[in-house]
Structure 1
Amino acid sequence: MTTSTVSARMNAAESETLQKAADGAALLLDDLRALAKASDPLLAEIAIDLLQQTAGVERKLRRLNLIARD
């Protein structure tokens, strides 16, 4: 699927939903960064694991958002 195909298929509501998802992922990343500094080692370890996974999701959402705008 080409960039223009993705843009052509996405309507305004879908574009807004995608932007909200990317923004939500960014907020989650902020919270997980704070939890990664927790004094409880288990909590910090779990937060770091979730942080890595969430960072990947956030990057993909941002990329898709850029593609959809073109």
Structure 2
Amino acid sequence: MKITERGNCKSGFGLYVFTYGRSLYPDRFLNVEEDKESREIVYLFYLIRIPGKNILIDSGFLNESYKKNLVF
């Protein structure tokens, strides 16, 4: 897992980006004009730290039309 840090940890504030996976997805399933055969999908989430709170944001998606194509 790659961790990219933005902010000052000593202050209690911070923005952290966690990359937890990568995969290739075929262009034939995407609505794109330029055919590169496949595109990289990066899976990540964010952690926002403010005094007294940690906020976790998952950047994933759930769309029924994509769900059928991605075979979930």
TM-score, normalised with respect to structure 1: 0.27
Return the structure number with greater relative CO, CA threshold 8 A, min gap 6.
Answer: 1
Q: Which has the higher helix share?
A: 1
TM-score, normalised with respect to structure 2: 0.26
Larger Rg: 2
